[in-house]
Chains A and B, each alone.
Chain A
Amino acid sequence: MRKLVIKKLSAAFVFAAISAFFVAPADVRAQPAPYPHKVVTLVTHSSPGGGSDVFLREMVKYLGKYIGATFVVENVSGGSGARALSKLATSKPDGSIFYATTPTYIFTSLLSKPQHTWRDLQPLAIMFADPEVLYTRADGPHKSVRDVIEHGRKARARFGVANPASLERQAAERLKTAAQINAAVVSHEGGGDLMINVLNGTLDAGVGEIQELRTQLSAGKVRLLGSFTDKRLSDFPDLPTVKEQGFDVVVHKFRGLAGPKGLPAEIIAVWEKALPQLLADPDYKKIYGSESLIVDFRGAAQAGELVETFAREAEAFLKESGVIK
C-alpha cells in the first residue's frame, strides 16, 4: 500500500482557494454557523485520490456554507489507518480536527492492535452508507444470487473480495455460511485485480461497493446480483437484496466523522445541525447521488452505538475465524 503524508499547508492553500471559489457564489439562504476555530483539519487514512480522500474533498467544497470555518483535508496514510488513529487520539478534542471514518479504522484496530484504537476516538456522526453488492460479469451465466449458490452446490463456487479481513470478506464468508456451500473466497491486492478476475470468468462473483463498479456498470460489463443492504437501493430499484433472495446477510459500510475523545457538547451541536443541512444541499446531493451513496445520517449518540455494534460484530467474525485471538 502506498503511504505518504502531505503537509497541510499546501492543502490549506489549495482549499482556501477552492472553497473561496465555491463559496463566493453561495446562496444567501444559509448563514454559516459560527465556529470557534478558523481552520478545521479533516484527516483521512486514504492517500490522495483514494476513497475517503475523494469523499472529504467533495464534502469540504460545500461544508463551508454551513459551518463558518475553513476546512483542510490532511492525508495521514500508513499502517492501514493506524497512523491516522494515533494522530487523532493524541490531538485536543476541541473540534479543530476530525477523522473520516470507514469500517477500515475498526478492522485495523482489531487486526493490528495499534497503540491507539477506535475506542480512543469519539464518533461525531455517520453520514452515508456505501452499499455493498454481489456482482458478476455481464456475459456470465449467473443472473441472481440464487444462481451462484445453486452453482456452488454442484461445483466449487468462487467468490472474490478486494482485501483480506475486510467488510467485503465478512459479507462473502457470511453468505457462504448462510447458503451452506463450500466456496472459495479469494482475496486480492485491491479492486483492480479483483475486477479482472470477475471479468475474465475466473471468479463466479465479486463483492464490492457500487462506487467502485461505476465504470464497469456504465460500460455494461458487470451485472449486479444482489445488495447486502436492508432495503433495495434507490438507484437500482429492480435489484433485489441478498436478504430478499433468501440469505440473511446484511453489512453496513458506513462513512462518517469522528474526533478525539471528549468533544464538547456545543461543538457536537454545531455539526449535528449543519450536517443534515449539508446533506440536503442540492449541489452536494448531485455529487453523492452519482456515487450511489445512501444518506444514513446519525448524530453523535447513534453513531457511537452503530460503531460499537459494528466493532462487536467484526471482532466476533475475526475471532471465530481465528484471524485474531
Chain B
Amino acid sequence: MEIAALVAAMLFGTMLVPAALIGLVWGVIGGAMPGLSASVTMALVLPFTYGMEPMTAIVLLASVYIGAEYGGSIPAILIRTPGTNSAAATVIDGYEMKLQGRAGEALGISLWSGVVGSLFGLIALIAFTEPLSELALAFKPMSYFALGILGMSIIASMSGDSILKGIAAALVGMMIATIGIDPLSGVNRYTFDLPDLLGGVKPIMVMIGLFAVSELLRQSGGADLGSQARIAVRIVFPNFAMMKRLAKPQGIGCGAGLVEGLLPGGGGSVAAFFSYNEAKRWSSNPQEFGKGSVEGVAAPEAANNTVASSSLIPLLSFGIPGSNSAAVLLGGLLIHGLLPGPRLFEQNGDVVTGLYVGSFIATMAQIPVGLLILPLCMWMVNRPRAYLAAFVMLLVMSGVYSLNGSFLDIAIVAAFGFTGWLMLKGGYPFLPAVLGVVLGPMVESNYRRSLLLSGDDHSIFIEDPIAVGFLVTAMIFVAFSIWRERKDALARSTMKEV
C-alpha cells in the first residue's frame, strides 16, 4: 500500500511524467538522426537538467536513453541508415522489408520488440540488480577476448556466398579499428598526425558510410521506386500470432542485451549483432534472414532496448557505467551530488524509485509516441526518389558533421560510401566489415591485456572458465557453419546435375 501511495504521489505530484515523455520524444528524435548516438543525445540534454530536481533530471536522461535506442531503428528500416550503432543489425532485414513494401510491418515489429526489450531490462534492473552485478565482476580480460572471438565467429555464417570475401571484409574492418591511439601503449597508429584521428574512426561512421551512403550511390540515377511501390502509410502492429512467433528471437535479444549491458565498454551493438545471428541459428525459417525476416528485426531491437536498462545495473550497484550512455547518466547523478552505489538506495531511495517508475512510463509510452511519429516518417520516405535522396544525403552529412565538427569526418563517411559501392560490385559482404570494426578493438586489447597479466603465457585463457566456454562455443559455431556451407554446396551441385 505504502509503495502504491508513493508511486501515486510521484505520478501526480512531481514532474516525473512530463520528464519521461519529453525525454522519450527527444530521445527518439536524436536517436533517429544518423550519427547522434544515444550517449550524444543524452549529453545534449544534460545541461538542461542541472537546474532540475535530481529525480526529474535522472528520469529525463533515462527516458532519452530508452527513446534513442528505439529511435535508431526508424531510419535503419526506412532509409538504410542506422541512427545509432546498435541499430546497424536492424538495417539488414528491416530495410529489406521496406524494399518489399512492408515498412509498416517492420516498424511495428521494431516498436513492439523495443517495448519488450525495455520491459525485460527494467524488470532485471529492479529485481536482480544484486546477483547480476556479481556477474559483471566475473568478466576478466580473458573473458572479453573470448566474447569478441565468439562474436567474430558469426562472420562464418554471415558471409553469404564466399567465406574468403567475408574474411577479407572482416580483416579490413579490423584494420580500420586500429586507427587511433593504441589502447595499451598509447602510441599513435595510422593517425598521420591528424588530431581528429586520435580517437579513431567511430564504428557509426563506417556503418553510415557502408549502409546509407553506398545505398544512395547504388540507387543513383535509378527509377523512381516510390512510384512503383509506394509503401502504405500505416503501421502494422504485430497481432497475437506474430507476437508468438517473435517471442523466441526477442528472448534471444533480451538475453544478449542483458549480458552486454552488464559489461562496460559494450553499448548494444555487439548484443544486436549477436542476437541477430543467434535468432537466425535457432529460427525455424533461417532462410528468410537477410531477405526481410520479421525475426531479424525483432531480435536486435529487443537486444538494444534491453541494454538501455541493463547497463544501469552496474551503474547503480557500483558506479560503473555499462555503456557510454550510462556514463552520461553517471555525470547527471554526480552533478546533482548523488553518488551511485549501494548507498544510493539507502540515502536517495526516492530517486531510484523515481527512476524505475519513470523508465516504466517511458517504456510504455514508446507505443503511442511511436504510433504518432512513424506515419510522419513514412510519409517522408514516400516522397519522389530525387528529393528523398537529397534529404537523406543532407541528413547523413549533418549528423556526421555534428559528431566532431569536422569536415574530415564527412570525407571519411563519403569514402566508406564509395568503398561500400565497390564492395557491392565485387560481391563482398558488409556485415563482417562492421563486425571487424566493432569487435576488433575488444579482441585485440583484451588479448594483449591477458598476456600482459600472465607474462606472455597463453594458459591464462584456459584458467578462465568463461573464456573457455565462449571459445569452445565459437569453435562449435564455426565448425557448424562450415559443415552447413558444405552441405548446401553439395545440395546445389547435385541439383545442377539433375
- A residues apposed to B, CB below 8 Å: 1-6, 10-11, 14, 17-18, 21, 47-50, 53-54, 57, 73, 78-80, 82-83, 86, 108, 111-115, 156, 158, 163-166, 169, 184, 186-193, 195-197, 199-200, 202-203, 214-216, 218-219, 221, 290, 323
Q: Chain A contacts of B50 at CB under 8 A?
A: 14, 18, 57
CA distance A3 to B324 in the complex (A): 11
B402 near A4 with CB under 8 A, answer yes
CB distance from A223 to the nearest CB of B (A): 15
Assembly CA distance A49 to B335 (angstroms): 7
Contacts of A200 in B (CB 8 A): 137-140
What 4 A-B pairs come out closest when comparing CB atoms?
Answer: A49-B331, A165-B186, A215-B319, A164-B186
A residues within 8 A CB of B402?
4-5
- B residues within 8 Å of A by Cβ? 37, 39-40, 43-44, 46-48, 50-51, 136-141, 181-188, 191, 193, 195-196, 198-199, 264-265, 314, 318-322, 324, 327-328, 330-332, 334-335, 337, 339-343, 402-406, 445, 449, 452-455
The complex places the Cα of A190 from the Cα of B39 at a distance, in Å, of 16
CA distance A261 to B44 in the complex (A): 31
Q: Which residues of B contact A17 (CB under 8 A)?
A: 51
Give A206 Cβ to nearest chain B Cβ, in Å.
13
Contact A54–B341 (Cβ < 8 Å): no
Q: How far is the CA of A163 from the CA of B184 in the complex (A)?
A: 8
* Further 16 A-B residue pairs, CB within 8 A, beyond A189-B265, A192-B264, A214-B339: A3-B403, A4-B403, A4-B404, A48-B328, A49-B332, A49-B334, A57-B50, A79-B196, A83-B195, A83-B404, A156-B455, A190-B264, A192-B322, A196-B139, A218-B339, A219-B343
Tally of contacts, chain A with chain B, CB under 8 A:
180
Flag if A78 contacts B405 (CB, 8 Å).
yes
Asked whether, in the complex, the Cβ of B318 is within 8 Å of the Cβ of A221, the reply is yes
Residue of B nearest to A290 (CB): B337
| Contact present for B341 and A215 (CB under 8 Å) | yes
- Contacting residue for B184 out of A14, A187, A192, A197, CB 8 A: A187
A164-B182 in contact (CB<8A): yes
Separation in Å of the A184 CB from the closest CB of chain B? 5
Chain B residue with the shortest CB-CB distance to A220: B342
Residue contact B334 to A195, C-beta cutoff 8 Å: no
| A114, B452: Cα distance in complex, Å | 31
Give min CB distance, A51 to chain B, whole Å: 9
Residue of A nearest to B454 (CB): A156
Partner of A2, one of B43, B320, B340: B43
Q: Which residue of the partner chain A has the closest CB to B342?
A: A219
Q: Is the CB of A202 within 8 A of B140?
A: yes
Cβ contact within 8 Å between B331 and A50: yes
In the complex, what residue of chain A is closest to B441 when comparing beta carbons?
A: A189
Q: How far is B452's CA from A164's CA once the two chains are assembled, in angstroms?
A: 14
Asked whether A112 lies within 8 Å of B453 as measured between CB atoms, the reply is no
- B59 CB to closest chain A CB (Å) equals 16
Q: A187 contacts B405, CB within 8 Å?
A: no
Give the contacting residue for A111; candidates B40, B48, B186, B340; CB below 8 A.
B186
A164 engages B331 (CB within 8 Å):
no
Contact at A78–B199, with CB atoms within 8 Å?
yes
Is the CB–CB distance between B186 and A48 below 8 Å? Answer: no
Rounded to whole angstroms, the CA-CA distance of A79 and B200 in the bound complex is 9
Contacts of B328 in A (CB 8 A): 47-49
Q: How far is the CA of A197 from the CA of B449 in the complex (A)?
A: 11
| Cα distance A57–B335 in the bound complex, in angstroms | 8
B265 touches A193 (CB 8 A): yes
A196 to B143 alpha-carbon distance, docked (Å)? 13
Least CB distance from B113 to A in Å reads: 26
A86 to B337, CA, bound (A): 32
In the complex, the answer to whether B334 meets A14 with C-beta atoms within 8 Å is no
Closest A residue to B328 by beta carbon equals A49
Q: List 9 A-B contacts (CB under 8 A).
A: A14-B50, A112-B191, A156-B453, A163-B186, A164-B185, A189-B264, A195-B320, A219-B318, A219-B343
B51 lies within 8 A of A79 (CB)? no
Q: Note all chain A residues with C-beta closer than 8 A to B39.
A: 2
With A184-B452, A215-B340 given, is the CB distance from A78 to B406 under 8 Å? yes
Cβ–Cβ contact B453 & A6, under 8 A: no
Closest chain B residue, CB of each to CB of A214: B339
Contact indicator A184/B455 (Cβ below 8 Å): yes
Determine if B453 and A184 form an interchain contact, defined as CB atoms under 8 angstroms apart.
yes
With A164-B186, A323-B186 as contacts: A186 and B265 at CB distance below 8 Å: no
Q: Are B319 and A189 in contact (CB under 8 A)?
A: no
Asked if B183 and A189 sit within 8 Å, CB to CB, the answer is yes
Closest A residue to B344 using CB positions: A215
**Closest beta carbon of chain B to A155's beta carbon, Å:** 9
Q: How far is the CA of A21 from the CA of B264 in the complex (A)?
A: 37
- Chain A residue nearest to B317 (CB atoms) is A219
Q: Which residues of B contact A4 (CB under 8 A)?
A: 40, 43-44, 402-404
| Complex partner residue of A47 from B43, B182, B319, CB under 8 angstroms | B43
- Is A187 a contact of B343 with CB atoms below 8 Å? no
B51: which A residues are within 8 A, CB to CB?
Answer: 14, 17-18, 21
A115 touches B331 (CB 8 A): no
The residue on B at minimum CB distance from A286 is B337
Say yes or no: B199 contacts A79, CB within 8 Å. Answer: yes
In the complex the two chains form, what is the Cα distance from A267 to B139 in whole Å?
52
- Would B183 and A164 count as touching, CB distance under 8 A? yes
| B181 CB contacts on chain A under 8 angstroms | 80, 111-112, 164-165
Indicate whether A323 sits within 8 Å of B320 (C-beta atoms), given known contacts A4-B402, A57-B50, A190-B264.
no
Give the CA-CA distance A220 to B237 in the complex, in Å.
49
Q: Within 8 Å CB of A221, what residues of B?
A: 318
Distance in angstroms between the alpha carbons of A158 and B457 in the assembled complex: 14
A189 touches B320 (CB 8 A): no
A82 touches B185 (CB 8 A): no
Does the CB pair B339–A49 fall under 8 Å?
no
A54 adjacent to B335 (CB under 8 Å): yes
Complex CA distance for A168 and B183, rounded to whole angstroms: 14
Q: Is the CB of B137 within 8 A of A196?
A: yes
- Residue from B47, B186, B335 in contact with A187 in the complex, judged by beta carbons closer than 8 Å: B186
Known: A49-B334, A192-B320. A169 touches B186 (CB 8 A): yes
A15: min CB distance to chain B, Å = 8
Give the distance to chain B from A200, nearest Cβ to Cβ, in Å. Answer: 5
For residue A308, give the distance in angstroms from its CB to the closest CB of chain B. 22
Whether the Cβ atoms of A158 and B453 lie closer than 8 Å is yes
Contact between chains at A202 and B453 (CB < 8 Å): yes
List of B residues within 8 angstroms of A215 by Cβ: 318-319, 339-341
